[in-house]
Amino acid sequence: MSAATRRGGSLTHPARTGVALVLPAIAFVVVFVFVPLVAAVGISFTNLPLIGPWEFVGLDNYLLAFTDPVFGRSILYTLVYTLIVTFPILALGYALAVVVRSNRRGSTLLRTIFFLPYVIGLTTISFIALLEAQPDSGAINVVLAWLGITDGSTAWLVNGPLATGLTCALVIWGVSGLTMVLLMSAMQGVPREVYESAELDGASWWKTEWNVTIPMIRRAIAMSVIISVIGSFLAFTQFFILTQGGPGSETTTVVMAVFRRAFIDLQLGSATAMSLLLVLLTGLVTAVQMLMLREKD
C-alpha cells in the first residue's frame, strides 16, 4: 500500500472522522461550561466580594444560604410560582394546539397569532404590562373598571398577591405559544389511521383525545412540562421588570435573591453558593419529573 493510500485511509477512518466532528463541540462545552462550573465551585468556598480582597471560608457560604430567611422564602415562593403556572401553560398550550393542528383555512394565521407573544419575548411584554398596570393610567384598570370589577385605581405591583397573579397571567399568556408548537408538532405526527379506527369504534372526540392523542404525544407533553418547570425555577426577567422582588421580598424568586446577593450586597462567593444550590435543586426536580413522566414498556 502506498503512502498516499495510507494517508487517505487515515483521514477517512470512521473513528477519526467522528472525533474530528465532535471536537469543536467538546471544546465549546469545556471552555464555556466545565471551566466556569469548576471556577464557580471554587468561588463558592470563598468570601469573594465584587471588589476587594478575599479569603477561603469553607462551607460558610452554604451554611449561610441554608439559614438565610430571604433565600428560604425565595425558594418557597419560586416553588409556589412554578406550581401556579405549570399546569395552565400546559392546558392552554394543548388547547391552542388542538385549534391549529389541522391544515384548515386560517390555521396558519392562528398559529402566528398564538405564537407571537413568545416571539416578542418576556422582556418586551413585561415592559408593556408595567405600563398598563399603572393605577391611574393603565389599560388594565380602565378595562376592569368598565366591566365593573374594580374601581379603576388598583395598584397591582405594590401588592404581593396581586403582583404575583398579574405576573403569572402574563407568563401563561406569553409562554403557552411554545407549548402549542411542541404539542402541535407531535399531534401532526400521529397517524391518521389511528383516528379513523377510533371513529369506526364510535369513540367521542374527548375519548379520542384522552385515549389516542395524549398517550401518543406523551414524550412531547413530558418535554413541555420539563421546559416549563425549568423556566419557572429560573424566573427573573418578569419579576425584575415588574416588581423588583417587592413589595419587600414578597415576590423575590431564587434568581432574584442571587442577583441581590451578588450585585447589591456585593458578595459573589455567597451568591455563587446560592446559584450552585439552585442548580442542584433544578437538576433534582428535573430528574424526578423524568422518572414520573417516562414511558413504561
Contact, 212 vs 198, CB < 8 A? Answer: yes
Contact, 128 vs 173, CB < 8 A? Answer: no
- pLDDT score at 295: 60
Distance CA 86, CA 93 (A): 11
Sign of CA dihedral 107, 110, 114, 117: positive
Burial class (CB within 10 angstroms; exposed 0-12, middle 13-18, buried 19+) of 31: exposed
- pLDDT score at 196: 85
- pLDDT score at 297: 45
Burial class (CB within 10 angstroms; exposed 0-12, middle 13-18, buried 19+) of 106: exposed
Domain boundaries 67-293, corresponding CATH code: 1.10.3720.10
Which positions of the chain have pLDDT values less than 70? Answer: 1-13, 295-297
Distance CA 152, CA 135 (A): 7
Any idea what the Cα angle at residue 59 is, between residues 53 and 61, rounded to 5°? 60
Please give the C-alpha separations between residue 281 and each of 39, 52, 93, 182, 233, in angstroms, as whole numbers: 20, 31, 26, 25, 9
Provide the residue type at 271 as one letter: A
List the chain domain ranges: 3-43, 67-293
Structure confidence by residue, pLDDT tens digits, 227-285? 999 999 999 999 999 999 988 889 999 999 999 999 998 999 999 999 999 999 898 98
